[in-house]
Amino acid sequence: MLRIWNRKSSLLLYIAYILIVIAIIWSHKVTGTKVLRFGEGTVVVNNLNLPWLMMSEVALFLITAILPILYVDQLSGDLYSGAYRLYVLRPYRRFQFWLAKLLALSAITVIFMGTSLLIGVIAGWLFFPHSSTFFKYGSSVASFRSDAIPYILGFYLVLTLVCLVKLMLSSVVCLFVSRPLFAYIVILILSVFLFELFRPLIMLMDPFREILLALRIDNSFEFWMCAGGMIIACMIISFTRWQKKIV
């Protein structure tokens, strides 16, 4: 964790992410409404729906650019520079180093999610109209204030899971492609290819709509199968490749 935050690139990405979140919230404040990107109509933004509505654009930036750049910088960066050779000289098992790296990046991912949630909740409370009801995605029945907290938390927890899927995919690619720029390009191309292969994997490019659909029980099976399967498969490949990595 200390090594990650000591890099200027990590701090710059974090600051850039915060600025993106603030800019998108400000745009919603100016318009007062949100036009959903998939033809579902226009929604009036209030304190109950802002924390997840703002993620329509934020999640797109996060999953395609911000986090992959961070992951590539930390994974491919150490491999390409040869810094990882210093780690494996220490008296620990090889898999422990890779596991520690992935856990640290997972914790950073949670920090990004927590920052989004905190800014969204505070901005919604201070700058947007207060409402006693809101509409969940795809529903024509109004939900009450008591339903907002579990819905918002559910969205951010599932988004965190999707980010971890991207992390595990990045860990595989970075072990085969050590040059950071090339690794990022491969991750981007592979995400598009997987989406074309199986529709729910659009979460690797634009997760907003898929997450909201997954929160509806009748539309969740394929999503959870894809997310869980990707994590397990990438984890097996990643740790197997790391164990065979020549120092």
Domain ranges of the chain: 2-244
**What are the tens digits of pLDDT across the range 18-58?**
999 999 999 999 999 999 888 778 999 999 999 999 999 99
pLDDT for position 2: 82
**What are the tens digits of pLDDT across the range 212-244?**
989 886 667 889 999 999 999 999 999 999 888
In this structure, how many other beta carbons lie within 10 angstroms of the beta carbon of residue 64?
Answer: 18
Cα gap 183→68, rounded to integer Å: 9
For tokens 């020549």, the residue is 246
- Return mean pLDDT, the chain: 90
134 pLDDT tier (thresholds 50, 70, 90): very high
Cα gap 131→142, rounded to integer Å: 11
Among 144-158, 169-183, 212-226, the range scoring the smallest mean pLDDT is: 212-226
Q: Is the pLDDT of residue 84 over 90?
A: no
The DSSP annotation for the chain comes to -HHHHHSHHHHHHHHHHHHHHHHHHHHHHHHSEEE-TTS--EEE--TTTHHHHTHHHHHHHIIIIIHHHHHHHHHHHHHHHTTHHHHTTSSS-HHHHHHHHHHHHHHHHHHHHHHHHHHHHHHHHHHS---SEEE-TT--SEEEHHHHHHHHHHHHHHHHHHHHHHHHHHHHHHHH--SHHHHHHHHHHHHHHHHHHSGGGGGGT--HHHHHHHTSGGG-HHHHHHHHHHHHHHHHHHHHHHHH---
Bridge partner list, 43? 34
